[in-house]
Amino acid sequence: MTQIIELSAPSSRGSTTGRSSNNAGLGPEAGTRQAKPGEAKAQREKIGQSEPSWTIQSILELYELPFLDLLLQAQAQHRLHHQPNTVQLSSLLSIKTGACPEDCAYCPQSSRYDTGLKSEALMPLDEVLEAARKAKENGAQRFCMGAAWRSPTARQVDAVAAMVAAVKALGLETCVTLGMLKDGQAEQLRDAGLDYYNHNLDTSPEFYGNIISTRHYQDRLDTLERVRGAGLHVCCGGIVGMGESREIRAGLIAALAGLDPYPESVPVNQLVKAPGTPLADAPDLDPIEFVRTIAVTRIVMPRAVVRLSAGRESMHDSTQALCFMAGANSIFHGERLLTTPNPQAQADARLFERLGLVPMPEAESCTP
Ligand code: SAM
Ligand code: DTB
Ligand code: SF4
């Protein structure tokens, strides 16, 4: 029996989930399947032990489902673990831009490529706070600060820890992405008030060497272990649309699901093709394949918040709508990602209105 069937089998999912995938979620019973905030957490704790371990083959079987069956399964899983029609809003700020020594083939901030990006030193605390205040006014719940570093020095972590403490004091959830961490740095950031550390696996172990040569997969895993060991929430995902095969995408999802436990937050980035990078002319990924990737991620990591991350600026509203149907429940909100454009807040507000989506209540967004 494949894991596609096991997903809906009463014995593998606990007593609250025992229904056939064919009637799950969207039929007349849909109302009774929507987890209320308190229930969702209790349900997850019950389910925790019995989640299947995913192989690349079983993930590929999900990918190969008829599109509508896949979407239905994904939305059904979504409704077991998350409040439907709610989307978490994070805002991003590049606190240190460009001049990165790493050679990530997708990244406009690598010093190895001539991308025309103007490098900027670490931002002063007051400017970071001003940006965080604005993000909060505009409805963001989480403020994510990104730095173009391979790995931060002790002094750089001191400076970022001060930013984390100040942003947290505004009543925002905090997230940073600073590259690889050394022993003790995750604990320092946690003590400053950090909620999430973002560190992406980016792609499958097999494909990694095609994209990055200046660090190894194991380096990423080691940092993720330090982050988890410090008790921080893990935000870890990857990028699709880098010319990889479906099997590579499945390999990425298997690697994410194999983290123990799997990340609380999983950003799925569609490559933003930055001029000057080796991937500037990567072939477009079929939007349906992108939606499939979101759906498979949702099914394989049902309790995670799945973030429809980079790439929305060039994505049709209908594709985004399908991504929400497939279980995406977080976005970056605000007109910039790190160095590239993101949809205008007004455009997102219109899309939410058209789709009947609302921002996720804060209590729901922090501890999935
Ligand atoms: N330097 C740190 C690191 O690499 O961990 C933190 C910042 S880095 C820009 C954060 C993540 O942004 C990367 O891991 C990658 O997944 C994503 N990213 C960077 N450039 C991208 C692009 N052009 N399109 C999509 N995602 C991108
Ligand atoms: C993540 O997975 N995606 C965000 C965030 N984590 C830091 C970054 C996307 C960057 C897109 C390219 C840019 O704007 O520079
Ligand atoms: Fe540097 Fe991070 Fe960009 Fe890689 S992804 S080049 S490590 S900023």
- Residue closest via CA to ligand 1's atom 4 equals 179
In which residue ranges of the chain is pLDDT below 70? 1-52, 362-368
- The Cβ of residue 141 has, within 10 Å, a number of other Cβ atoms equal to 22
Name the CA dihedral angle for 64, 202, 243, 61, rounded to a multiple of 10 degrees.
Answer: -10
pLDDT at site 353: 95
Say if residues 277 and 318 touch (Cβ distance below 8 Å). Answer: no
| Cα distance between residue 357 and residue 87, in whole Å | 7
Q: How many CA atoms lie within 13 A of 224 on its CB side?
A: 24
Q: Helices marked H in 177-240 — which ranges?
A: 185-192, 205-211, 217-229
Give burial (CB, 10 Å; 0-12/13-18/19+) of 38.
exposed
Q: What is the pLDDT of residue 19?
A: 27
Q: Of the residues 91, 269, 307, which should be mutated to test ligand 2's pocket, given the most ligand atoms within 8 Å of the CB?
A: 269
CATH number of 86-365: 3.20.20.70
DSSP reduced 3-state for 4: helix
107 is catalytic: yes
pLDDT digits (tens, 9 = 90+) for 145-188: 999 999 999 999 999 999 999 999 999 999 999 999 999 999 99
Rounded to a whole number of angstroms, the CA Rg of the chain reads: 20
Q: Give the distance (Å) from ligand 3 centre to CA of residue 316.
A: 27
Residue 155 known to be catalytic? no
Q: Provide the residue count of the chain.
A: 368
Query: Which one of the ligands is nearest to 179 CA?
Result: 1
Closest residue to atom 8 of ligand 3, CA basis: 148
Mutation probe of ligand 1 site: the residue of 97, 104, 342 with most atoms within 8 A of C-beta: 104
For the question of residue 144 being annotated catalytic, the response is: yes
Question: Given this model, what pLDDT does residue 363 score?
Answer: 52
Contact residues of ligand 1, CB 6 A cut-off:
106-107, 109, 146, 148-149, 177, 179, 199-200, 202, 239, 269, 271-272, 274, 310, 338
Alpha helices for the chain (secondary structure H): 3-6, 10-13, 30-33, 37-47, 56-63, 67-81, 125-137, 154-169, 185-192, 205-211, 217-229, 246-257, 287-300, 317-325, 345-355, 362-366
Catalytic residue among 79, 142, 175, 190: 175
Q: Which candidate in 13, 79, 104, 228 is catalytic?
A: 104
Which residues face 202 on adjacent strands?
A: 238
Q: Is 235 a catalytic residue?
A: yes
Q: Which two tokens stand for residue 43?
A: 């349900």
Asked whether the beta carbons of 289 and 330 are under 8 A apart, the reply is: no
Instruction: Identify any residues that bridge with 147 across adjacent strands, giving them in sequence order.
Output: 96
Strand 86-96 and strand 173-177: pairing? unpaired
**Rounded CA gap, 185 and 150, in Å?**
14
- Please give the pLDDT value at position 364: 56
CA distance linking residue 209 with residue 206, whole number of Å: 7
Nearest-CA residue for ligand 1 atom 5 is 179
Q: How far apart are CA 17 and CA 33, in angstroms?
A: 9
Active site residue 175: yes
What does the domain layout of the chain look like in residue ranges?
Answer: 86-365
* Residue from 79, 226, 292, 307 carrying the catalytic annotation: 307
Is residue 41 within 8 A of residue 33, CB to CB? The reply is no
- Collapsing DSSP to helix, strand or coil, 187 comes out as helix
